[in-house]
Amino acid sequence: MELEVRHLRALCAIADAGSLHKAARQLGMSQPSLTTQLRRIENSLGAELFSRERTGCRPTLLGHSVLSRARPLVAGMAVLVSEARAAADRSAGPRLRIGSTASRALAGWLRRLRERLPGTDISLQMDVSANALLRQVSGGGLDVAFVHEVEGCPLRVPSGLDRRVLVEREPQFISLARDHPAAGSQIVELADLAADRWMIDPTVDGEWDGLRRVLGAAGLNPPVLHGDYLTASSLIAVGEAIAPCQPTSVPREDMVVRPLRDDPLGVRLLLFSRPGAYEGAGIGGPGAVASASGDGDGDGPGGAEVYADLEAAYREAASQAVVYRQWLMRNKSPLLRAPAA
């Protein structure tokens, strides 16, 4: 077997994700297929590259050596592809490629961008992994990514990306069946959920680690189910589980959304882009501007317009979520104030 770039890319993905399951999802393939591919790579080299442990996969000494050589090759190929695509894009017309984790603000953001950029081809790629989206931005596969960073679980941000902070700390609420004993409370105590089964999607970067940290700090060790949030909704509705949710979530007839006392769960909402990424989207602007976080990061021409549309869309989503709007009022959030012109 002759090693190819795709094999090296798979090795890097396994090392970055820390598990075959997460790496397979990021690569868009099944775990058995990736396991077979890894076994073939190791057989061709004559030794194991990863040690399989209960908590995931860790590179062996040989694995570290191979990865140190593989990463520059994979990065070089990504640059080659990025530059070729950029050249093709310039001849094909303006285009803006957006990546995002799940958010209620997306619909309003896309609507505003299409109004602002009527001649631009705007595409959207969704992924549960913020880290995977950032790698695509860095590699040239995406122009911009709107992602969330779970508190206590920093994202692995590739060097060279520009950043804007949309919300420094967004509280995560809890989704409950409408007849749950705690559903009648305006604010739910974490201790009142100790006997419930929690459901979490372990493929969302940092989500399980963040929840486990919060539950452990509260002295709780409830049963936890792993699965996607579409499945979680059906289980929550019949009282089989509860789950953390975004505060902009809209409740259903059979479910309610409630804040937790003292807001122990939180995420940071971030917008990343490559320098010059907006130039190919036909967006004008006064040049590099400072980020909303005030940390001095710039995002080049056009970044201010894209960020302004995202901010407006998020404010719209927040105002439509009654429970979140009440939380913002109680906490005198600056999100309630109109942005400066």
Mean pLDDT of 3-13: 91
Largest CA distance in the chain: 63
Calculate what percentage of the chain has a pLDDT beyond 90.
58
Residue 64 near residue 47, CB atoms below 8 Å: no
Amino acid at 259: P
CA distance 284 to 305: 8
Give the long-range contacts of residues 52-58, CB within 8 A, separation 24 or more.
55/18, 56/18, 56/19, 57/14, 57/15, 57/18, 57/19, 57/20, 58/18
Q: Residue 128, SS3?
A: coil
Total residue count of the chain as it appears in this document? 341
Amino acid at 191: A
Element (H, E) at 50: strand 50-53
CA distance 140 to 243: 35
pLDDT tens readout for residues 200-244: 988 888 999 999 999 999 999 999 998 888 888 889 999 999 999
What pLDDT is attached to residue 277? Answer: 76
Q: What residues are paired with 225 via a beta bridge?
A: 199
Compute the mean pLDDT over every residue in the chain, rounded to the nearest whole number: 87
pLDDT tens readout for residues 143-196: 999 999 999 999 999 999 999 999 999 999 999 999 999 999 999 999 999 999
Amino acid at 37: Q
Calculate what percentage of the chain has a pLDDT beyond 70.
89
